[in-house]
Amino acid sequence: MSGDNETQHHYHGVNSGLDKIKIAISLFLVTFSVVIVLGLISTGNTQFARDIHPVAAGVILWTLIIWMSMVEGGQCSMVGLPPIDRELYRESHPITYKIAGWGHKGDNLDRYLMGRQFMVIFINFTIGLCGAPIDGSLPVLGLPPWIITIFCGSGIAMVLQNVIIGQLTSQVNASHCMLDYINTHFMTFTYFFAAGIEVTGVMHVSYLIRFMAYWAAGKPVESNEPPKSGFTLIFFWGRVLFSTAVLGFAIAVTCDALFRGKTSLWDGVPSIVGLVLFFVLMSAIGLLEGMQIAFFTVSHLPKSERGESSMALKTCDCLFRNGGKNLPGFMCGRQMTVTLCFFVIARVTTINVAIGEEPNIFGVSDWVQAMFNLGFMGAITTTILGSIAWQLVASSFPVAFLSNPIVYIFLQAALFLEATGICSAAWFLAVLQRKAMKYELDEIYVGTPEERAAKGYADDENVNDHLDLGTNIVQHAVGRHTITREYMDLVQESFANQREKVMDNITELRKHIKSAESEEEKAIFEAAMKLEISALKSVNSRQSESMRDLGAMLGDDDDSEANDLDLEEQQVTVATAAVQIKSLGSDDDF
């Protein structure tokens, strides 16, 4: 029965005929991008393929794309879960419970986001070393030169595979399946890796920028921890000074390499042009990073507090038009633009000194120069000056930030890019990932905000008010969604998945009962069978109540016939289960 209804399920972004056309085109483009990038790597025409081995470059590339999916999806979960009482998912998601315990203690979430920001940029830089062409004019798979120029030379192929597969797909699922998404030790490793980056102090100058931005705005620096004192205070400011020195050194190294022509900048491009391009692209990234923070900040402000600037009001009007759908639309288009800028900056700033053949930058030792060649200097500079600093300023002065006319232009460009449907494949891939990984909506486990409040576990709505960093801050409470027919179908599927798991358990127990070697063993399995039957009854009961409530919230009073069909389908499923175990004499329990 569930298989017959599979085609009736609806998912956001994959419903209409136009959606399907966009998905088909986007899937073709991303598939072609994957093939052409792997073809490029096989020719040895990328830095890692040349310096290490093409196979190693391909393996590193896809390992990092998969890791990027956890970095991006993990952030959605880590930012979205703090309002929820952890005890609600202690038993159902033990790994998520532990990760949230570490990450939501004191200011650890800020620390994780700080380290994660560097991870995102450094992963993008390293992916560029794996898959970006050294010479964009060389043939790949016998394709015409103009196709190679468009997809490889411009970086579009790298952007499509990285954004759609490694970022947007995970963000789509992690925004609504937070508990399931990080209930894996892959996220445990990712969390501690990001937290470890922050502990090193390399990014600590960002805290100084934060203090300065808050001081300028006349805002207190909020913290979930007591004021630092003694050794803790000295250790903190020591790392701030260390980070300031590292940032200054990174800028000096990058500029020296550019002037000496020792970066992977395209042949024929003057050094001064590369330097200007570096700072222009950092400003573009910073503007896009700050825009998302400013947008999320003003989304919580009433119209009366959005200032009097005509440009800021015009930007807000565009942003919240179309039922608020322009905000996620901007986030999608922004992701494409920022990632493209990351790859171009990586190309401009990644140092390319032949160790042992050419003099090292500032005469450093060979092992330090090898670190420079991996792109660390450009990644550090871009993370702090091209990302974090702008986010902090936008958080302190959101309305003033939106008064900039360039913000409105960038908003329109991002919305146009999203409207083309170039990223539509992410919706389809998200459906495949959700089915393959058996992700369930969060409210299946912890209920809606209203249900949690009724049980004495009301959400702490203000717990994340002080967060300034992030690239995809969840804009809904866990379990709170706009009630649509598509959303109701998702809920139906979640219950169907639970029912399928119970039925699988019943099938296994039936086999064990038949093969039991003693009456005691048989009695144990029969007791387990009764528990599974009770669980099946509970699933059907909760589904009936949930669909009635959602139908009422949707105002779907005229759809009683559809609701009757849903209930009839549930009854058929229960009857099927009863027939399956009839020989055990337990069907009366239904």
Query: Which helix (H) or strand (E) element contains residue 77?
Result: helix 54-80
Mean pLDDT of 499-513: 78
Q: Mark out the alpha helices in 438-559 (DSSP H runs).
A: 442-446, 449-454, 485-514, 519-554
User: Is the CB of residue 143 less than 8 Å from the CB of residue 174?
Assistant: no
At residue 199 the predicted structure's pLDDT band, cuts being 50, 70 and 90, is: very high
**Is it the case that residue 588 has pLDDT exceeding 50?**
no
Classify each residue of 57-66 as buried b or exposed e, where b means 16 or more C-beta atoms within 10 Å of its C-beta: bbebbbebbe
Predicted pLDDT of residue 584:
41
Which of the residue ranges 252-256, 361-365, 499-503, 563-567 has the most confident prediction, judged by mean pLDDT?
252-256
User: Is the CB of residue 254 less than 8 Å from the CB of residue 365?
Assistant: no
- How many degrees, rounded to 5, is the angle at CA 582 between CA 581 and CA 585? 100
**pLDDT (tens digit per residue) in 17-69:** 777 888 899 999 999 999 999 999 999 988 899 888 999 999 999 999 999 99
Mean pLDDT of 438-451: 81
Q: How far apart are CA 475 and CA 478, in angstroms?
A: 9
Task: Give the 3-state secondary structure percentages of the chain, helix then strand then coil, rounded to 5.
Answer: 75, 0, 25
**Is it the case that residue 580 has pLDDT exceeding 50?**
no
Name the pTM for this structure. Answer: 0.75
Residues 6+ apart with CB under 8 A from 531: none
Which amino acid is it at 65? I
Residue 15 DSSP symbol: S
**pLDDT (tens digit per residue) in 102-140:** 998 888 888 998 899 899 888 988 998 898 888 777 888
Mean pLDDT of 494-502: 69
Mean pLDDT of 563-574: 49
**Is it the case that residue 488 has pLDDT exceeding 70?**
no
- Which two three-digit tokens encode residue 131? 């898959």
**Is it the case that residue 555 has pLDDT exceeding 70?**
no
Q: Three-state DSSP class for 431?
A: helix
Q: What is the DSSP string of 293-323?
A: HHHHHHTTS-GGGS-S-HHHHHHHHHHTTGG
- Which two three-digit tokens encode residue 87? 């005890």
**pLDDT (tens digit per residue) in 309-335:** 788 888 878 877 766 667 777 877 888
Mean pLDDT of 427-443: 87
Least confident among 13-17, 385-389, 419-423, 424-428: 13-17
Classify each residue of 317-352 as buried b or exposed e, where b means 16 or more C-beta atoms within 10 Å of its C-beta: eebbeeeeebbbbbbbbbbbbbbbbbbbbbbbbbbb
Report the DSSP beta bridge partners of residue 133.
46
Predicted pLDDT of residue 249:
92
Q: Mark out the alpha helices in 166-270 (DSSP H runs).
A: 169-174, 178-181, 185-200, 205-217, 230-259
Q: What is the mean pLDDT of the chain?
A: 79
Least confident among 145-154, 339-348, 358-367, 571-580: 571-580
At residue 550 the predicted structure's pLDDT band, cuts being 50, 70 and 90, is: low
**Is it the case that residue 437 has pLDDT exceeding 80?**
yes
Least confident among 233-237, 372-376, 406-410: 372-376
Predicted pLDDT of residue 245:
95
Q: How far apart are CA 564 and CA 465, in angstroms?
A: 43
Which of the residue ranges 196-210, 485-499, 524-538 has the most confident prediction, judged by mean pLDDT?
196-210
Widest pairwise Cα distance in the chain: 85
- Phi and psi torsions of 302, nearest 5°: -65, 160
